[in-house]
Amino acid sequence: QVTLWLKKIYGNRPVPQYEVNARTIDILYELVECNEARDRDVSLLIEDMKQKATEYEAEANYLQGLLAESLGLSLSSLSSEGTSYLSVLVNSAVTLETKDTSLASFFSAINDMTSELYATESKNREMELELSNLRKKLTAAVMLEKQLEEDLKKTEELLEVEKAKADSRSQNLKFLRDKSEDLKIRIKAAEEQLAATGLDQSLTHESLVSLSE
C-alpha to C-alpha distance for 104 and 90, rounded to whole angstroms:
15
Q: Is the CB of residue 29 less than 8 Å from the CB of residue 1?
A: yes
Does the pLDDT value for residue 199 go beyond 70? Answer: no
Residues 28-59 have pLDDT tens digits of 888 888 988 888 899 999 999 999 888 878 87
* Residue, of 191 and 45, whose pLDDT is higher: 45
Name the DSSP letter for residue 100: S
**Distance in angstroms (rounded) separating the CA atoms of residues 71 and 24:** 69
pTM of the predicted model as reported, rounded to 2 decimal places: 0.35
pLDDT in tens, 121-132: 999 999 999 999
Residue boundaries of the structural domains of the chain: 1-75, 102-180
Cα end-to-end span (Å), the chain = 140
Q: Helix (H, G, I), strand (E, B), or coil: what is residue 4? A: helix
DSSP secondary-structure letter at 74? -
Counts for the chain of helices (H) and strands (E), in that order: 5, 0
Residues in the chain: 213
